[in-house]
Structures are given as C-alpha cells and as structure tokens.
C-alpha cells in the first residue's frame, strides 16, 4: 500500500468531512445569532421601561410632596393647570417641574425647561388625563377631564394610556399632596404618629 | 461502539475505493493503522467529533439559559406593572372611598380582585364614629403573562359608610 506523505494534500473525504463539520458550526453560530437578534430588542425595551418607571416614581413623589391650598397659599402659588400640562411651582413664576401630555406622549421635565424632557411611557397611545376632587370650596368631589378653571388642587390625577402594541398600560395615579394630608391626619389623631 | 466505528470505517473505505477509481484521489492514510499514525501529525476525526459533541453538550444548556433570562426579563416588567397598578388602585380607593369587595377586568388585560374587611376603630378613639379601618387584600394579574399575580395587603383609613 502506498504511504501518503504529509505534504501531498488532503483527500476528498477529508474535505467532505470538514465541510460537514463547518456546516454544523455555521448552523450553531446562526442559531446563536438568531437568539441574540431576538433577545436584543427585549433588552433595549427593558432599558427604556426601567427608565420610564423611575421617571413615573419621581413624578408621583413630586405630586405627593405638594403643599395644600391654604389661606396664605393659593393654587396659583403651588401649581398651574393648563389644557395639556401641569407646572409645579416652588414660588410664583419659578417652576420646579413640568408634566405635559399629548395624545401620544407624556413627558416630565425638571426645572425651568432647560433639561431634557423624560418619557413616562415608551410610545404611549390614546392618552387620557382625569382629575378627581373639589374644583372650588363647597363644590362636589367628582371626576373631571379639565382642571384649568379650578381654585383647589385635585386630590387625584389619573393618566391612562395604551402601549405601542395597543395593550393597556397600568394607569398612573398621582395622589396629590399625600404627605401633607397624612401629616394633617397624624397631627389631629389622639395619639402622636408612630 | 468500537464495532460500530469499525463498520463505519469499512463502509467509508468501500465507498472511497469506488470514488478513488473515478477521481484518482490519494487514500493511503485511510488504510494506515492507529499504530502507524504519528500523533504529532494532528488530531483524528473521532477526536474532532468527540470535542464537538462535548461542546454541544455545554452549548445546549447555555441556549436554555438565554431563553430563561429573556423570560425573567419579561416577568420582571410584568411584576413592576402589576405592582404599579395595585398601588395606583390603592391610592384611588383611599381617595375616592370606594371600599367595596369586587372583581373586575381592566381593559381586557388585568384581572383585579379586591377583598375588603371593615375593622371599627376602638371605642375610646374619638374618631370612631366617623372613621373606620379597611383591611384590603388586592390581587392584580396580567392575563398576557405567565408570572404570578401581584398580591398586596393594606390597611386604609376611611369614613364610615
């Protein structure tokens, strides 16, 4: 039998087998690529989702920390309610933050409008805003879609929307002046807080 | 296993002999015995296939891991949304005073179960005639997700009915 030297090249069988092995590796790599391709959008969406959830938490805190309307502090000193935005004020004409909405966008902006608006939901659709409370002293507490002419703060702001796929988002409920209300309840109770 | 390999080798030799007659390709290495083979020359086909099989054994669980991480990611989002929804509902109940046990579906996506138990304030409390405590157990379940429902228990102060 003739002995093949190591420099004489490769046989057809070796070529076929290496092709088969390379095909197997290529298929495995393609599967890895496909999995990565499927996972990457989910990870990107998750980043946007977490960012938006943190912004929602900030908005809830800002509204919860608003002071109550009193004899020495009117609504215009605390917040300005417009048709498509709410401006929270530290002093008259000094905004702390702005919550603004359109049918397909809900943004939150800190300060006097210089910072970048941050999204509360990623590509929302069908956005609606409702207010609950007394618009004026001695008025009935009820839900309303407009708070521009009110003289009191709403007790609750409810923002409902759908996501980009048409699935409903959980409603965003802002409990206005929650901290001040709870402090008032604590101070008026029989026992001190805690 | 060894018998099987020998059979495969024999079949491949026969097939390759016929190819050799057609293509005149050098096949002498196929007849070389294991003793003849110098291990310094490289690795055998069997070793290559074995290595690939071992690699595949590790790769398959890794793929499962990717899938599980993707599912965990989706479940985390669902849990956050369910928790947000539950706390939003608690705020709404507290402010609007709608302390009724009920079951409802929110826009076809979330199943909501609210169970309310009324606990009167102690008689020595001066507000016992106008306020009551409401023990609320609420479960929010996203119908589109396999993650378990978010359950929250809270005690709220509300005016008497």
pLDDT tens readout for residues B22-46? 444 444 444 445 555 555 667 787 8
From the list A129, A175, A186, A123, the residue with the least C-alpha distance to A153 is: A175
pLDDT at position B3 is 56
Examine the predicted complex and report whether its ipTM is higher than 0.85: no
A2: which chain B residues are within 8 Å (Cβ-Cβ)? Answer: 26, 28
Over the stretch B101-150, which tens digit does the pLDDT of each residue have?
999 999 999 999 999 999 988 888 878 888 899 999 999 999 999 899 99
pLDDT of residue A157: 97
Residue-wise pLDDT for A176-194, tens only, equals: 999 998 888 776 665 544 4
User: What are A64-100's pLDDT values in tens digits?
Assistant: 999 999 888 899 999 999 999 999 998 777 888 999 9
- The predicted model gives A108-136 an average pLDDT of 89
pLDDT in the model for residue A94: 81
pLDDT above 80: residue A47: yes
Buried (b) or exposed (e) across A16-40, using 16+ Cβ within 10 A? Answer: ebeeeeeeeeeeeeeeeeeeeeeee
Q: What's the whole-number average pLDDT of chain A?
A: 87
Interface of B with A in 60-99 (CB under 8 A): 63, 66-67, 69-70, 73-74, 76-77, 80-82, 84-85, 87-89, 91-92, 94-96
Phi/psi for B56 (5° steps) reads: -65, -40
- Each residue's pLDDT tens digit, B41-90: 677 878 888 888 888 888 778 777 877 888 888 889 999 999 999 999 99
- Output the six-digit token pair for B21: 């007659």
Residue of A nearest to B41 (CA): A6
Closest CA to B101 of B89, B84, B87, B113: B113
Share the mean pLDDT of chain B: 81
**At B103, phi and psi to the nearest 5?**
-130, 130
B131-142 and B150-159: which strand pairing?
A: antiparallel
Tell me A68's DSSP state.
Answer: P
Given an 8 Å threshold on Cβ–Cβ distance, is A168 in contact with B76?
A: no
CB contact under 8 A, B69 and A170: no
Distance between B7 CA and the closest CA of chain A, angstroms: 17
């Amino acid at each position: 039998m003739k002995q093949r030297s190591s420099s004489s090249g490769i046989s057809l069988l070796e070529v076929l087998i290496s092709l088969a092995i390379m095909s197997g590796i290529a298929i495995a790599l393609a599967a890895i690529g496909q999995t990565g391709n499927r996972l990457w959008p989910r990870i990107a969406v998750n980043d946007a989702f977490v960012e938006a959830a943190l912004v929602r938490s900030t908005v809830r805190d800002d509204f919860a920390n608003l002071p109550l309307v009193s004899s020495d502090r009117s609504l215009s000193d605390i917040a300005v309610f417009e048709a498509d935005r709410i401006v929270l004020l530290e002093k008259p004409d000094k905004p702390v933050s702005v919550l603004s909405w359109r049918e397909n966008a809900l943004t939150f902006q800190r300060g006097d409008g210089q910072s970048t608006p941050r999204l509360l939901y990623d590509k929302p659709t069908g956005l609606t805003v409702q207010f609950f409370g007394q618009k004026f002293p001695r008025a009935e507490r009820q839900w309303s879609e407009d708070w521009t002419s009110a003289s009191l703060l709403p007790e609750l702001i409810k923002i409902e929307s759908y996501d980009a796929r048409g699935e409903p988002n959980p409603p965003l409920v802002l409990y206005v002046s929650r901290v001040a209300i709870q402090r008032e309840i604590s101070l008026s109770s029989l026992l001190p807080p805690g | 296993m060894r018998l099987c390999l020998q059979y495969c080798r024999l079949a491949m030799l026969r097939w390759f002999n016929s190819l050799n007659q057609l293509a005149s390709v050098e096949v002498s290495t196929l007849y070389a015995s294991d003793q003849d083979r110098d291990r310094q020359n490289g690795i055998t086909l069997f070793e290559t296939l074995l290595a690939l099989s071992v690699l595949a054994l590790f790769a398959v669980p890794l793929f499962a891991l990717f899938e599980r991480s993707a599912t965990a990611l989706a479940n985390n989002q669902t849990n956050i949304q369910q928790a947000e929804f539950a706390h939003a509902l608690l705020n709404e109940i507290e402010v609007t005073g709608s302390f009724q046990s009920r079951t409802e579906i929110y826009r076809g996506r979330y199943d909501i179960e609210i169970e309310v138990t009324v606990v009167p304030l102690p008689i020595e409390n001066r507000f016992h005639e106008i306020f009551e405590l409401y023990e609320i157990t609420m479960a929010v379940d996203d119908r589109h997700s396999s993650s378990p429902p978010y359950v929250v228990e809270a005690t709220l102060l509300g005016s008497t009915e």
